[in-house]
Amino acid sequence: MKADRLLSILLLLQTRGRVPAGELAERLEVSTRTVYRDIESLSASGVPVYAERGRHGGIALLPGFRTDVTGLTTDEARALFILAARGAHTALGLDEALGSALRKVMAALPAPHRPAAELAGRRILVDPDKWLSGPRPAVDLGELHTAVFTDRRLRIRYRHSGETRLRTYTVDPYGLVAKAGTWYLVADRRGRPQLFRADRVTSAALTDAPVRRRAGAELAGVWQQLRRQVEERPAQVRVVARIRRDRVDLAVRILGPALTGPPRTGDGGDSGNGGATDGTGTGAEAGTGSDWAVIELAYPVIGAVRQLLQFGDSLEVLDPPEARRVMAEGAAALTAVYADDRPGHPEPTSG
């Protein structure tokens, strides 16, 4: 609607000062010609707005002009008070600022909108943490946060997954991303984008050098690129397993990223792998009756199949044979650990 667009232009000019017409057109998803027509409409209605031509020109309001109108609709006001990631504000030390900002917004809202906004905050709650995620390590975002907002290079000590040795990197930060309750630093290292889990950064120090980002690269675009790299990482090992039907929902929650499709249930349904076996008579064609469902998974390496040991005898790997061997070796190792009733006491050896 034109009225909404005019109000959006007015609020953008109040917030940003001089804004190029092309940027306004891009933000509002209209043509530059439409923007100039809207500027004429604002001027005709008494808003002191003007346009400057040239390389450093743009559209601006006369200095000192302000309007108290918020322009918020009922739905917009409600949306502001449904804050999904309150944990994010806590980690950044912005809880008090958030509360203060919401009080100011509430005071500025038109009276008819206030009850809806207040009710939304009490009736809608979004918890960003996964089920059964366990306690998370404390994360100090102080230096990372400072580097991001002061555009400074950062020197970090970092521990990669599965490693005990710390590595030292000098990086160029784009920003911080909170995904499912986990914070990540998105940065370039040697001119290439990389993700760093904040809880694996053991120390961080600002350098005196300004950040060096790639031309045209912004946080949102770099994050999407890195996210695709993680999600589209090729899986080298395909695994077929059967699982008891009363454990299917749990398996979907825990194994979700590894599953290549929904579990298949039915009376004696084929698993779809041609009934391959490991030579022992146990294969995809065996024992997939009404009490069982068949699942197919993809893992980057064969050793990752040990993830399935947590389901005990409620799950059996059917194929490939190498995966069955890995499971058998893992189960045997666990059996050896618990074979001795004395915790922490290995079998004595004779001298």
pLDDT at residue 105 in the model: 75
> What is the DSSP track for 288-312?
-STTEEEEEEEESSGGGGGGGGGGG
pLDDT at residue 347 in the model: 57
Decide: 145 and 92 in contact? Cβ < 8 Å. yes
Task: Read off the pLDDT of residues 102-116 as tens digits, 9 standing for 90 and up.
Answer: 777 777 777 777 788
- What number of helices (H) and strands (E) belong to the chain? 11, 11
Calculate the average pLDDT of the chain.
82
* Chain centroid to CA 309: 28
- Is the model's pLDDT at 164 over the cut of 80? yes
Q: For residue 71, what are the CA distances in angstroms to 38, 49, 325?
A: 17, 18, 65
In which band, very low, low, confident or very high, does the pLDDT at 288 lie, cut at 50, 70 and 90?
Answer: low
pLDDT at residue 68 in the model: 56
- Is the model's pLDDT at 242 over the cut of 90? yes
DSSP structural state of residue 84: T
pLDDT at residue 279 in the model: 40
Q: Which residue has the higher pLDDT, 285 or 140?
A: 140
Residue indicated by tokens 């232009």: 9
Task: Read off the pLDDT of residues 46-83 as tens digits, 9 standing for 90 and up.
Answer: 888 888 877 777 898 888 776 655 566 777 777 777 66
Task: Report d(CA 52, CA 175) in Å as an integer.
Answer: 33
| Cis ω before 320 (30° cut-off from 0) | yes
pLDDT at residue 270 in the model: 43
- Is the model's pLDDT at 201 over the cut of 90? yes
* 77 CB-near residues (< 8 Å, 6+ apart): 105, 109, 113, 114, 116, 117
- Look at the alpha carbons of 165, 166, 171, 173 in this order and tell me if their dihedral is positive or negative: positive
Task: Report d(CA 66, CA 72) in Å as an integer.
Answer: 16
- Is the model's pLDDT at 195 over the cut of 50? yes
- Is the model's pLDDT at 273 over the cut of 60? no
Task: Read off the pLDDT of residues 73-102 as tens digits, 9 standing for 90 and up.
Answer: 777 777 777 664 556 677 777 777 777 777
Task: Report d(CA 88, CA 85) in Å as an integer.
Answer: 5
Secondary structure of residue 182 in the 3-state scheme: strand
